[in-house]
């Protein structure tokens, strides 16, 4: 009886971890998509600026990604 309760709690905790990371990844996923799409648009419009746009894009992606990474850490903390 005791064992099954522990097992259930462990299972619920696993579900919680999955949900936490999954939910945390939604926003940044959309955000990175927008950043990448806009960067592609800008590069297609001004191919001579592609290098600078690309580095700026990586920086923007890094800032957006921070949220997902916090979720990733949270998954381990749960």
Partner 1 sequence: MFVEMAYASEAAEGAKGGLEATLGAVYPNPAAIWPTWVAFIILFFLLWKFAFPAIIGMLDKRAEAIKESLEKAEETKVEAERLLNEYKQQMAEARGDASKVIEQGRKVAETMKEEIVAKANEEAAALVAKAREIMESERKAAVAELQKSVAEISVAVAGKLIGEKLTAADHATLIDKYVAEVGGLNDN
Partner 2 sequence: MNPLELLPGKIAELVHELSVLPYNNMEGHVTSPWTLTNYVVWGLIALVTTMIMFIVVANREKKQIALAAQSGDVTALAPAGRLVGALEAGVEFIRDMATDVIGPKDGPKYVPLLGTFFFMILISNMFGLIPAGKSIGGTIGGTVALALISWLAFVWIGFSKNGAYGYLKSLIPEGVRQMPPAGRIILGGFIFLLEFISYFIVRPLTLAVRLFANLYAGHIILGVFSGFVALFWPIFEKDLAWSIGGVGAGALALVFLILMYAFEVFVAFIQAYVFTILTAVYIQSSVHASEH
The footprint of partner 2 (CB under 8 A) covers: 52, 55, 58-59, 62, 65-66, 69-70, 72-73
Distances (CA, A) of 75 to 58, 59, 65, 67: 25, 25, 15, 13
Which is closer to partner 2, CB of 1 or CB of 14?
Answer: 14
Compute the least distance from the CB of residue 35 to partner 2, in Å.
13
Quick check: 21 and 69 in contact, CB under 8 A?
A: no
62: partner contacted, choices partner 1, partner 2, none (Cβ within 5-8 A by kind): partner 2
Distances (CA, A) of 39 to 6, 62, 68, 74: 49, 14, 20, 30
26: partner contacted, choices partner 2, partner 1, none (Cβ within 5-8 A by kind): none
């Amino acid at each position: 009886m005791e064992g099954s309760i522990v097992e259930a709690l462990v299972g619920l905790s696993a579900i919680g971890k999955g949900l936490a990371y999954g939910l945390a990844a939604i926003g940044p996923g959309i955000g990175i998509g927008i950043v990448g799409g806009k960067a592609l648009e800008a590069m297609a419009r001004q191919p001579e600026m592609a290098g600078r746009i690309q580095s700026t894009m990586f920086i923007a992606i890094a800032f957006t990604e921070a949220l997902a990474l916090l979720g990733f850490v949270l998954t381990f903390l749960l």
